[in-house]
A and B are shown apart, each in its own frame.
Chain A
């Protein structure tokens, strides 16, 4: 008899703690979502507020259920899990919304005329961004020509040669340079060239210089990372064969890191190609195609976007359409460059992709 009592008591004391089954959790999530989305509109809330209502419901219901079944600590854990997931989806919302808005307003003028005509003599309808696209390509290209050698060689210095105070101060200053506001880079370029050419100077090369100030630290940082990934054994093997240091770097280290370096440079280009502020200051704006970096104002896509919105012409809706088409073009270019960088890192080097 005593054994029977004993087993009865033991059946109540289990080692497994009570917990909400995953299926129950999903039912609660689905229930809250459905309630929010059905009740919300009935209460006269718009779509955004209905979603908010559903999320708030979930934030209350699931932790309460957990509190009853699992206790306070696990309830807190569930609450934090929801909060963290909501935070993440909140970050994706602007991305989707930006994409959607830009495509929605941008496709209207995303036509051949937009890409093959400039703005000379255009007041209202029509017109295009050919001059701005050419300007952007020229100035970004020139910026890359300036920044890539300086950036790559600085990174080589930091990784392969740099010791002591000079190297550590350069490292810190590269970091600080990453944070220079783009408008300050434009002001610098203007201040520099104004000393030589007077205060009305506006030309493409100035824009390229301003973009370089923004681009160099990005190039240095990414190339540095890539060079650090090159195994030391390769360098040592090369030295052991009697190869000099500079040939080791040029023939072994740099080629090994080439894919990563290319990806880094592509990302750096993507970063500066969308810059508006510095070009607004030093490259100015124009309505004609200008192929000459050394003379006269030069339009760029971001600046074109900016002015198409702020000075849309008469009637204004055509200017605003052009602004969105240019924004969409920029969006596409930047995303393509980012994908390209990621693909090249993926395809050519496993060391560079995480």
Chain B
């Protein structure tokens, strides 16, 4: 472990050398190391470009192919449209359930739980993100779906006039709503993490000022924490949306998919999602069908890219304006 810097004598040339070394540009080791760092950074750009490039390259044949050769036989758009519909529908269910829940959880951790246990509780929620999606899928089939069947029957009998619950209720419980609920659990951790972060950043003085004026805890939260965290909540929701849109195996296992478009959330016939459809059909596909699946993957990539990009843009803009990035 000899970290000793080479001893410098008083030779002017040597001093020049030291100055160069300090400025950090001319030294060979420095140049190599800096070069490696830049290359690694560039590799990330190249990878993203590569993902887009190769998906376009392999997906393009499906876009220009004879419509009759594609799965479904009516061209790429009518192949991918129901899938995109199913993807967005499942993700929206997840969002509707998870957004309020994650706000509540984040508030509990940031403002209600005792300080000492708060970080442990946060860790428990984070653990939900660590569980592999295939385990979620099995859990959805074996535990959640059977639990939900009575609820679905009740929904069909009592509020069946709403198209979402028109039924007939699935006997296995493996429905769009179940898939959406599993997705909701899966995206909870990331949304909670973002919300918790922004709630904790609320300026302490504002909180204490409102409490000093006699506000109850909830009034303090409503007047300082929530307005301050609004953009954080929005971007957290969009990050969760991105996750939900791309989730594959859990949905592929839970849903019993077909290629229809239906808004019936509790029936035995469900619209599939892009990702689940790829996972279910890719291993057995060949020829142009593979290209069609890759092209649908490209559509999914573009969709999630836009959602994530928007979320990050909101976070970045918030940082600039609120000065809360300390």
Q: Which of B44, B142, B219 interacts with A101 by CB under 8 Å?
A: B142
B29 pairs with A87, CB closer than 8 A? no
**Does B312 sit at the interface, judged by CB under 8 A?**
yes
Category for how many chain A residues contact B:
35 or more
Category for how many chain B residues contact A:
35 or more
Give the interface SS of chain B, mostly helix, strand, loop or mixed.
Answer: helix
A191 pairs with B57, CB closer than 8 A? yes
B44 pairs with A220, CB closer than 8 A? yes
**Does A188 sit at the interface, judged by CB under 8 A?**
yes
- What does the 1/0 interface line of A144-177 toward B look like (CB < 8 Å)? 0000011111101110111000110110111111
B242 nearest CB neighbor, chain A only: A179
Stretch of B128-136, B166-174, B260-268 at the chain-chain interface:
B128-136
A73 pairs with B219, CB closer than 8 A? yes
A338 pairs with B130, CB closer than 8 A? yes
**Does A350 sit at the interface, judged by CB under 8 A?**
no
**Does B301 sit at the interface, judged by CB under 8 A?**
yes
**Does A192 sit at the interface, judged by CB under 8 A?**
yes
Q: How far is the CA of A241 from the CA of B254 in the complex (A)?
A: 62
Q: How far is the CA of A185 from the CA of B135 in the complex (A)?
A: 20
Inter-chain contact total with CB atoms closer than 8 Å: 293
Q: How far is the CA of A72 from the CA of B39 in the complex (A)?
A: 62
**Does B12 sit at the interface, judged by CB under 8 A?**
no
In the complex, chain A residues whose CB is within 8 Å of the CB of B308: 175-176, 178-179
In the complex, chain A residues whose CB is within 8 Å of the CB of B301: 180-181, 184
Distance from A55 Cβ to chain B, minimum over Cβ atoms (Å)? 13
Known: A83-B104, A105-B142. Is A95-B41 also a contact (CB below 8 A)?
no
B105 pairs with A276, CB closer than 8 A? no
In the complex, chain B residues whose CB is within 8 Å of the CB of A318: none
B127 pairs with A184, CB closer than 8 A? no
Q: How far is the CA of A319 from the CA of B32 in the complex (A)?
A: 53
A92 pairs with B124, CB closer than 8 A? yes
A181 pairs with B45, CB closer than 8 A? no
- What does the 1/0 interface line of A101-125 toward B look like (CB < 8 Å)? 1100100000000000000000000
Q: How far is the CA of A194 from the CA of B291 in the complex (A)?
A: 11
**Does A84 sit at the interface, judged by CB under 8 A?**
yes
Known: A87-B105, A91-B192, A192-B50. Is A161-B134 also a contact (CB below 8 A)?
no
Distance from A51 Cβ to chain B, minimum over Cβ atoms (Å)? 13
In the complex, chain A residues whose CB is within 8 Å of the CB of B213: none
**Does B309 sit at the interface, judged by CB under 8 A?**
yes
Distance from A318 Cβ to chain B, minimum over Cβ atoms (Å)? 16
**Does A251 sit at the interface, judged by CB under 8 A?**
yes
Q: How far is the CA of A44 from the CA of B158 in the complex (A)?
A: 19
Q: How far is the CA of A331 from the CA of B136 in the complex (A)?
A: 11
In the complex, chain A residues whose CB is within 8 Å of the CB of B282: 280-281
Q: Which of B128, B138, B143 interacts with A305 by CB under 8 Å?
A: B138
In the complex, chain A residues whose CB is within 8 Å of the CB of B9: none
Stretch of A31-39, A267-275, A287-295 at the chain-chain interface:
A267-275
**Does B108 sit at the interface, judged by CB under 8 A?**
yes
**Does A56 sit at the interface, judged by CB under 8 A?**
no
In the complex, chain B residues whose CB is within 8 Å of the CB of A53: none
**Does B230 sit at the interface, judged by CB under 8 A?**
no
A188 pairs with B54, CB closer than 8 A? yes
Q: How far is the CA of A252 from the CA of B6 in the complex (A)?
A: 16
B246 pairs with A180, CB closer than 8 A? yes
B186 nearest CB neighbor, chain A only: A94
B112 pairs with A276, CB closer than 8 A? no
**Does B18 sit at the interface, judged by CB under 8 A?**
yes
Stretch of B20-28, B68-76, B78-86 at the chain-chain interface:
B20-28
Q: Which of A200, A285, A331 interacts with B135 by CB under 8 Å?
A: A331
Distance from B104 Cβ to chain A, minimum over Cβ atoms (Å)? 3
Q: Which of A149, A180, A274 interacts with B131 by CB under 8 Å?
A: A274
- What does the 1/0 interface line of B45-66 toward A look like (CB < 8 Å)? 1011011001101110000000
Q: Which of B40, B218, B290, B300 interacts with A153 by CB under 8 Å?
A: B40
B303 nearest CB neighbor, chain A only: A181
In the complex, chain A residues whose CB is within 8 Å of the CB of B188: 91
**Does B107 sit at the interface, judged by CB under 8 A?**
yes
B219 pairs with A184, CB closer than 8 A? no
- Counting chain A CB atoms within 10 Å of each CB, the highest count among B34, B40, B55, B141 belongs to B40
Residues of B280-326 at the interface with A, using a CB-CB cut-off of 8 Å, are 282-283, 286-287, 290, 293-294, 297, 300-301, 304-305, 307-309, 312, 316
B138 nearest CB neighbor, chain A only: A327
Q: How far is the CA of A250 from the CA of B316 in the complex (A)?
A: 30
Q: Which of A91, A162, A330, A331 interacts with B105 by CB under 8 Å?
A: A91
**Does B96 sit at the interface, judged by CB under 8 A?**
no
Stretch of A5-13, A22-30, A74-82, A257-265 at the chain-chain interface:
A74-82
B123 pairs with A179, CB closer than 8 A? no
Q: How far is the CA of A36 from the CA of B245 in the complex (A)?
A: 38
Distance from B123 Cβ to chain A, minimum over Cβ atoms (Å)? 7
List A residues at the B interface (Cβ < 8 Å): 48, 73-74, 76-77, 80-81, 83-88, 90-92, 94-95, 97-98, 101-102, 105, 149-154, 156-158, 160-162, 166-167, 169-170, 172-185, 187-188, 190-192, 194-195, 199-200, 213, 216-217, 220, 239, 241-247, 249-252, 270-271, 273-277, 280-281, 284-285, 302, 305-306, 309-310, 323-324, 327, 330-331, 334-335, 338, 342, 354
Q: Give 11 A-B pairs besides A170-B41, A185-B51 with Cβ atoms closer than 8 angstroms.
A: A77-B217, A81-B112, A84-B108, A85-B112, A97-B139, A101-B142, A154-B41, A161-B37, A176-B305, A246-B27, A274-B135
List 30 contacting pairs A-B, 8 Å CB cutoff, sorted by A: A87-B105, A88-B113, A149-B40, A154-B40, A156-B40, A173-B44, A173-B45, A175-B312, A176-B48, A180-B51, A181-B275, A181-B300, A187-B278, A187-B293, A187-B294, A191-B55, A191-B59, A216-B44, A217-B44, A220-B44, A245-B24, A246-B24, A246-B34, A276-B279, A280-B282, A310-B253, A327-B132, A330-B134, A330-B135, A331-B131
Shortest Cβ-Cβ A-B pairs, 3 listed:
A181-B246, A274-B132, A87-B104
